[in-house]
Each structure stands twice: as C-alpha cells, then as structure tokens.
C-alpha cells in the first residue's frame, strides 16, 4: 500500500504538470521570447579581476570600462528590466578621478593598487535591498518607493574602499521573500536566456544583469537561496559565505532575530569564478583570516560527497534528469581528472528542509510578514489587501499576500514543535559538519528544475528547500554553472563546505569552470 506522503507527492506532481501547460499556453499567447542585443564590446567579456589589472596598468581607462557597461545596460534594460535605479553620471565622474590619479605624478604603483584597492576603477552593481548612499532602497515594497539610503551598507563601503564604483541597483522580489523577481514598483525581470522564464529571487535582477554582461560583478544577499538560485537560473557563479563572516549591516529587510541573522549572508555574484575569492576577501574584512582564503587548495586531496536529490521531500519537484546527469558528469570528471572517488550520501534529515528553515525564520513579538509588508509600522489587513489585489488596486504582489497568510499556519516561536525543530537543525549541522570537516565538500542540487516559466513558482513554492537548508546550517555554498540544458536554460549545482571552509568550495568552482566552461553567453537568436 502506497504511503500517504507518496500519494501527496503524486498529486502535487500532477498539479505541477497541469499548471505548466497552462503557463506555457499563456507564454505562447504573449508572443515569442524577446531577443537581447548581442555582446559586441569585448571589454564586457573580461572578468572583474582582469579589468582591474588592465585599469591599474593603463591598458584600459576606468572611464572606458564604466561607459561600456552603461551602454550595455541601456541595451538590455528595455528587454530584461533588471535595473531599478542608476547613478551613471556619478559613476563616470568617479571613474574620471581614478584615471586622473593614475596619470598624476603621485600615481600609486600597480602592485600597490593591487594590494590596497584590488578593484580600483571597476564598476559594480547590487540588489535593491543593500543600501547605497543617496539612492533608493525600496526592497520592492511600494510603501518604500521614496525611501533613500542615508549611508552605504557596510559591504558597499568596503567595495568603495577597495576602489570599486557603484553603478546601479537591481530588481528584487517584494521584500526579498520570493524566488521570482517581480514587484508592484518595478515589475518583472526576465531571463536573458529566454524571456518567458524567471530569473529567480530575491537577487534576481543581479543574476540577470551579470548573465547579460551588464555588470562585471555584483553583490547579493541570501537568506534562503537568494544568491544561489538567481545564479543557477542565469548560469553564473555566486557564493553564500559561512555564517557571521560578512556584515549584514545596511541590508533591508534586516534580520528580526539572531536566528534570522545567522541565516542571512551577503556575498558575490559574477560570471567568472576567479572573481569570487578577491571579492570575498574584501567583504569579509576583519574576519578574512578565519577563512584561510590565501591557502592553496590541492583538489586531489579534497574529499567529495554528493546527493542527487533530497530523498523525496513532500511538495518539492523531482530533480530533473539533466540536472542529475550534470551531477554525474562532475563525479566522473573528478575521477578521471584527479582520481577522486566521490561518496554518495543519504542524509535523511534533508527531507525536513522546509520545516527546519521555517522554524529558524520564525520570529517572536508578532513581527511577522504582515508587519514587514506595512514597512514595520503596524500590520496590513490581509482580507482588505486581497480584495484590493482582486480589483487591481493593491500595492502588494499575490505571492506576498499568500506568504503572509501561510505564515499564520506555521510553527509558533517558542512552541514545543519549534524547540524540537531548532534542535533537529543543530543535529543536522553536526552530522554534516562531522562528514565534511576541514577537507570535504558536498555537491548538492541548487534547485530541482531549470528556470520555470513566469508565475510557475506559485505551484512549486517549496523548491527553494535545496538552498534554504544550507542557510539553516550556516555553511558556505558556491553556486556553479554547468552549461545549458536541452531547452537552452542554465543548469548547475551548489558546492557546500564545512564551516569557514569557503576557500574549498570556491576552489572546486574554479576547477569545474575549467572542466565545464562556466558561464555561457546567452544566445542572440530565438
């Protein structure tokens, strides 16, 4: 006799199948995918590290680089809708000052710049949740449409100190709490590989602009996969650092509890794996020595473990065969290139990923999502907001209202069940940490499917569990692209390390980039 869980999963998969056909019909009725302009400027293909090298050695000017990216953003924005606010004029002025310094008699040496300001003259972008002084910081919430950041977030300050130049902010899901980037302020961001598909969230605009070569590097934040899912859907690299390494100061929404603060991490997003380490060195600041980022990694001495799925968690999609095959190709590559025999695991506690994540996200003092949707000034009336949404007069997305409704039925902070789930989270951390130690990495799907169609996540809301559980554990995880699937959409995996072993996961990503090619520029034909 079939188990209740198996029957529920079968029903869910049937609903997914029907819904996909409906969303596909809607997509076809709206016309063919839009084409983004081809990449003609070769400057756009360089890594941020190479750009910095060329600028400080006067092979390129900072102003030329910044202008190239401004031109690219103006090309892609009408198609992809990834940028929400720009500071082009100020960025060009700052680039000009960089160039003037290099021309002056007191110009620092290239070596000195590399050490003191590793991203001197290089532009960068960040999501509209991370504050840049004198720019809007809306987090996609209508009530914050006129909110201006009065100072730089700590990570922005650190990037400026490293010589980098803020160029623009990018679109997010409403209050960064959904994995499709769409809100009532700025609309929906579209996937550069096929505009019928999503870019992920909440750092979706950032994943999109990186994939479309509209920015050489970006800064995202991740509380349940908000860096790694956009990286996966857009075929780029990204890194969620170990817990409590990078400052969360200046991120909105800010964490409401110590548990949430441990889940939240700010990290790099980029097209080239070689950029991850130098960006993380900047962002880690005083904690950088905890990560041993200068330590050379011998891949042949790293222990590899993997799982192809979560073991069958309720209400999550099955991992697509092409993603499983990509994982197997990685395992075969490791064996062929380095004589490494990866160990397949069966960690049963991963089947409770959603419950564990939700328990760790729970807040006391009634600071729930209705409080957040009111910009932390009271609570919205859900029934009234649903009525406004139905009549097209609302200021919130449907998914935000559904999230607030669902939250009322989840485990309550301090309850017996909540205490049990928090303990289970700690048990899972110890289990995986004991396996990985200081010389192991865990290969795990980033997401069970390639980028869904727009609105399709509504029927598969819990698919973020593959990334969310890693936030619960506080472990470092690097999103690594592994090419395109048969439909031309990016796929990849995440590489998870033991606590503070970020250098291992990044080194493995660099190895897989060499083996599988890394970022693939989006096609320019339908």
Q: Which of 47, 202, 215, 247 is catalytic?
A: 202
Interval 235-252: pLDDT, tens: 999 999 999 999 999 999
Scanning 285-352, the segments in alpha helix (DSSP H) are: 321-338
How do the domains of the chain map onto residue ranges?
Answer: 35-362+410-516
The DSSP result for 108-144, as a single string, is: PPHHHHHHH-TTTT-EEEEETTB--TTSB--TT-GGG
State the burial class of residue 274 (Cβ atoms within 10 Å of its Cβ: 0-12, 13-18, 19+).
middle
Terminal-to-terminal C-alpha distance of the chain: 48
Over 50: is that where the pLDDT of 1 sits?
Answer: no
Residue 127 annotated in active site: yes
Percent of residues, the chain, with pLDDT higher than 90: 95
Asked if the model's pLDDT at residue 443 lies above 90, the reply is: yes
Q: What is the mean pLDDT of the chain?
A: 96
Q: How confident is the model at residue 364 (pLDDT cuts 50, 70, 90)?
A: confident
Instruction: Tell me which fold the domain 35-362+410-516 belongs to.
Output: Amidase signature (AS) enzymes (3.90.1300)
- Among the residue ranges 26-35, 177-186, 468-477, the one predicted with the least confidence is 26-35
Is 103 catalytic? The answer is: no
What per-residue confidence (pLDDT) applies to 63? 98
Q: Stretch 132-145: mean pLDDT, rounded?
A: 98
**Confidence band (pLDDT; 50, 70, 90) for 524?**
low
pLDDT in tens, 367-421: 899 999 999 999 999 999 999 999 999 999 999 999 999 998 999 999 999 999 9
* 300 catalytic residue (yes or no): no
In this predicted structure, the answer to whether residue 526 has a pLDDT above a threshold of 80 is: no
Contacts of 357 (CB under 8 A, 6+ apart): 224, 263, 465, 468, 469, 471, 472
> What's the CA gap between 120 and 49, in Å, rounded?
10
Cα–Cα nearest to 154, from 8, 291, 284: 284
Residue 523 confidence (pLDDT): 78
**Which candidate in 127, 190, 243, 352 is catalytic?**
127
Average pLDDT value for residue range 444-459: 97
pLDDT digits (tens, 9 = 90+) for 457-499: 999 999 999 999 999 999 999 999 999 999 999 999 999 999 9
Residues 383, 465: Cα–Cα separation, whole Å: 28
pLDDT at residue 257 in the model: 87
Residue whose structure tokens are 């977030």: 153
Element at 268 (helix H, strand E): strand 265-270
pLDDT digits (tens, 9 = 90+) for 367-382: 899 999 999 999 999 9
Q: What is the pLDDT of residue 259?
A: 87
List the catalytic residue out of 173, 182, 221, 226.
226
């Amino acid at each position: 006799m079939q188990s209740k869980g198996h029957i529920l999963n079968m029903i869910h998969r049937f609903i997914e199948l029907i819904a996909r056909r409906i969303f596909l019909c809607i997509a076809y009725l709206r016309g063919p995918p839009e084409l983004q302009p081809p990449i003609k400027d070769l400057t756009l293909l360089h890594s941020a590290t190479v750009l910095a090298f060329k600028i400080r050695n006067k092979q390129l000017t900072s102003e030329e680089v910044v202008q190239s990216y401004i031109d690219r953003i103006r090309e892609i924005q009408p198609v992809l809708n990834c940028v929400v606010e720009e500071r082009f004029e100020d960025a060009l002025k700052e680039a000009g000052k960089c160039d003037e310094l290099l021309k002056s008699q007191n110009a620092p040496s290239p070596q000195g710049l590399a050490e003191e300001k590793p991203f001197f003259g290089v532009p960068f972008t960040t999501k509209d949740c991370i504050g840049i002084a004198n720019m809007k910081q809306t987090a996609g919430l209508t009530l914050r449409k006129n909110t201006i950041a009065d100072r730089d977030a700590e990570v922005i300050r650190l990037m400026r100190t490293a010589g980098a130049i803020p160029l623009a902010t990018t679109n997010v899901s409403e209050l960064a709490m959904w994995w499709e980037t769409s809100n009532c302020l700025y609309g929906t961001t579209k996937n550069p590989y096929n505009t019928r598909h999503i870019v992920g969230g909440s750092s979706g605009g950032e994943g999109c602009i990186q994939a479309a070569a509209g920015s050489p590097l970006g800064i995202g934040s991740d509380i349940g996969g908000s860096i790694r899912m956009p990286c996966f859907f857009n075929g780029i690299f990204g890194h969620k650092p170990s817990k409590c390494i990078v400052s969360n100061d200046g991120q909105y929404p800010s964490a409401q509890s110590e548990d949430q603060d441990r889940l939240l991490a700010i990290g790099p997003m980029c097209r080239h794996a070689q950029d991850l380490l130098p960006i993380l060195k900047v962002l880690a600041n005083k904690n950088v020595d905890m990560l041993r980022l200068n330590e050379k990694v011998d891949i042949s001495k790293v222990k590899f473990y993997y799982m192809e799925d979560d073991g069958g968690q309720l209400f999550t999609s099955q991992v697509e065969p092409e993603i499983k095959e990509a994982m197997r190709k990685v395992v075969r590559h490791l064996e062929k290139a380095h004589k490494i025999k990866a160990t397949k695991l069966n960690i049963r506690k991963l089947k409770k990923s959603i419950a564990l994540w939700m328990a760790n996200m729970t807040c006391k003092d009634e600071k729930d999502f209705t409080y957040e949707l009111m910009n932390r000034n009271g609570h919205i009336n859900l029934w009234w907001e649903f009525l406004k949404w139905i009549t097209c007069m609302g200021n919130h997305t449907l998914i935000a209202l559904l999230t607030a409704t669902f939250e009322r039925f989840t485990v309550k902070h301090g309850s017996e069940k909540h205490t049990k789930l928090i303990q289970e989270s700690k048990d899972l951390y110890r289990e995986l940490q004991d396996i990985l130690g200081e010389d192991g990495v865990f290969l795990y799907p980033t997401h069970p499917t390639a980028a869904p169609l727009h609105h399709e996540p509504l029927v598969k809301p819990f698919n973020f569990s593959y990334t969310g559980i890693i936030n619960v554990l506080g472990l470092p995880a690097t999103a690594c692209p592994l090419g395109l699937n048969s439909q031309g959409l990016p796929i990849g995996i995440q590489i998870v390390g033991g606590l503070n072993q970020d250098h291992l996961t990044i080194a493995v990503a660099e190895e897989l980039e060499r083996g599988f090619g890394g970022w693939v520029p989006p096609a320019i034909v339908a």
